[in-house]
Amino acid sequence: MDSQSKRAKTPLLGSQTKLLSFDLETNGLHGEAFAVGAVVMDASGEVHNRFVGRAKIVGQVDAWVENNVVPSIKGMAITHKTYKDLREAFWRWYLAAEPESDYVLVNNGYPVEYRFLLKCQEENLEERYWQHPFPILDLSSLLIQVGETPSDKSKLLAEVMSSGSFSRHNPLDDAKIAALAAFRAFQIAGRIK
């Protein structure tokens, strides 16, 4: 690794830990993102920073998206004209918010969130070459580590969702759910109290 390479954040987990958790909604698993929600959250559930953005869906709307996502975001205003505008706004927010967090978290980030981050960097790769999250935590791996199923059938996810008013497939709510579930997994593993 050369002197300019990305260095991993490796703080100890504790009650002061903050996660930057983000979630996207895309037009099908391999389609363009049209809604983004992100939070910087601590172990108590306090949100210290957030991002919400939405653009129009490009192309014919995927049937699963039409039935499961569109109803969950009906109150979410369109804030950006294009996918590129949405990406760039998120990236500006991410660069400012990431230093406030200890780790970046996604829930089953492949292919959606990982592709989105790559597209953000590729917009200006020379400048953004080292500006990616490292390490990036995936909630699915954290759930497996504490004996949970990494799916909507997870008891831990059900416990988290019952603790608040959340709408599945709303990206802001999904980002909050992922962060809360990660903190709960850290508690089960004995890493934080």
Tens-digit pLDDT profile for residues 31-78: 999 999 999 999 999 999 999 999 999 999 999 999 999 999 999 999
Average pLDDT (143-155) is 86
Average pLDDT (6-12) is 76
Two structure tokens written together for 2 = 């050369």
Rounded to whole angstroms, how far apart are CA atoms 50 and 48? Answer: 7
Residue 74 is assigned to a structural domain of this protein: yes
The residues, any chain, with a CB within 8 Å of residue 66's CB and separated by 6 or more, are none
Average per-residue pLDDT in the chain?
Answer: 92
Residue 105 has pLDDT above 80, yes or no: yes
Residue 9 is assigned to a structural domain of this protein: no
Q: With H, G, I as helix, E, B as strand and everything else as coil, classify residue 128.
A: helix
Residue 2 is assigned to a structural domain of this protein: no
pLDDT for 2 equals 47
Q: Which amino acid is at 44?
A: S
Structural domain for 54, as ranges: 19-188
Residue 7 is assigned to a structural domain of this protein: no
The residues, any chain, with a CB within 8 Å of residue 44's CB and separated by 6 or more, are 15
The CATH number of the domain holding residue 98 is 3.30.420.10
Report which secondary-structure segment, H or E, holds 38.
strand 33-42
Query: What is the number of structural domains in the chain?
Result: 1
Rounded to whole angstroms, how far apart are CA atoms 26 and 62? Answer: 9
The residues, any chain, with a CB within 8 Å of residue 71's CB and separated by 6 or more, are none
Residue 161 is assigned to a structural domain of this protein: yes
pLDDT for 15 equals 84
Of residues 92, 90, 72, 75, the one with CA closest to residue 33:
90
